[in-house]
Amino acid sequence: MKLTQLNEFSSLHQHLQLFKRSPLQSESLFQSDAEILHMSENSYLAFSLDVVGDEQAWGLISDPRQLGRHALETALSDLAAVGVWPKGFLQGLIIGRNHDQAFIEAVLLGVNDIADKYGLFLFGGDTASGQSFSLHLTVLGHSTTKPITRLGMNVGDRIYSTANPGKGNSLVAERWFNRNQVLSNESDFLANARLKEAEIIKSYATSMIDSSDGFLNSLDLLVRVNTKGISCPQSLDTLLHPLAKQVRSKYSISPWTLLAGEFGDYELIFSIPRDKSVAFENEYRKQFNDLVFVGDVIVTPEVQLKNLSGTSIAYDASIARNLYRDRSMDQQAYMNAFVKLGKDLGF
């Protein structure tokens, strides 16, 4: 499994050939959730840019204040994935011609809610008008210890997640089957950056990623970056988040559909050396309850999953990921092809 199989990687790699990469950056493309600059001994600058557009364009988040909260939480999740606490952010706002002032003010109030939650400062930014709405947030943080990246997991490591996966794609399912339904618990489906959890995880982990692109896509990316595999011994059903279990039962859809989609959960997925796993679990569970064991790191570079018949198969997430890149402009065509893919793979 190679990164070049992902259309997103190939496209980005081609574009980035036009630019020089800083000698202060030690990580290559796709090796880290945030960009990391090693400024000097015991001084690291981490920053990440996130753009919110599809969530609003696809009608996934109906409450503009929740949209603003989700936007900043998703950006901060990238810093959580490298174990760096944020200091503040830059904000770029494109105001769509069809959005009124009340909508924009509600979005910004949501952003400010999360800024207050973490004690962050708005450093600056830019505002413009355009054909459609989008929100661009660049978060910055500083660390005196080396940040963690996606690269570093070893054979025998145990893979964990900060919570059961599938809630993000459950929101997609709710919107798809009930387009006009008002969800009183909409916020339960949205991002919650695991910054505090990361402070403990960083002391033990060999690699880490946030599941911003979905659970199985994140496992797949860890495999491609590390050229080592991940074996998941349990059925996909047992991994599902409570919200995902409700949606699965409500609409009779497969667990694969809720774990392979592109709308992320923004949990942390990470590897812990086996000989440190007990100590890690004991320390972690003193503060947090939702730790989930996912699987083990193996030699063969593939994601091993159990399909509906209980057979262990090698899962290649690039097929579903490339499908989204190719058909995301046509929601109906994409969803039909995506569901068919799951069935064809035995899920």
**pLDDT of 331 higher than 80:** no
In sequence order, what are the beta bridge partners of 88?
121, 140
pLDDT range class, residue 10, cuts 50, 70, 90 = low
**173-193 burial code (b ≥16 CB/10 A, e <16):** bbbbeeeeeebeebeebbbbb
pLDDT at 249 (0 to 100): 94
CATH number of 158-344: 3.90.650.10
Separation CA 155–CA 173 (nearest Å): 36
Domain definitions of the chain by residue range: 23-143, 158-344
Residues 6+ apart with CB under 8 A from 340: none
The single residue listed with the structure tokens 């020089």 is 20
CA distances from 192 to 3, 67, 211 (A): 28, 12, 11
The percentage of residues in the chain with a pLDDT greater than 70, rounded to a whole number, is: 92
Residue 2: how many other CB atoms lie within 10 Å: 10
Token digits of residue 86? 């944020």
Q: Which residues contact 192 (CB under 8 A, 6 or more apart)?
A: 73, 266
Local structure of 202: helix, strand or coil: coil
The 10 Å Cβ neighbour count of residue 3 is 19
Task: Confirm whether 23-143 and 158-344 share one CATH topology.
Answer: no
Largest CA distance in the chain: 57
Q: Of residues 346 and 118, which shows the higher confidence score?
A: 118
* DSSP class of 147: P
| pTM (global) more than 0.75 | yes
Q: Which residues of 51-80 are buried (b: 16+ CB within 10 A; e: fewer)?
A: ebeebbeeebbebbbbbbbbbbbbbbbbbb
- What are the pLDDT digits (tens) for 94-124? 988 877 889 999 999 999 999 999 999 999 9
Among the residue ranges 78-92, 148-162, 178-192, 292-306, the one predicted with the least confidence is: 178-192
CATH: 3.40.50.620, 3.30.200.20, 3.30.1330.10, 2.30.40.10. Which one for 23-143? 3.30.1330.10
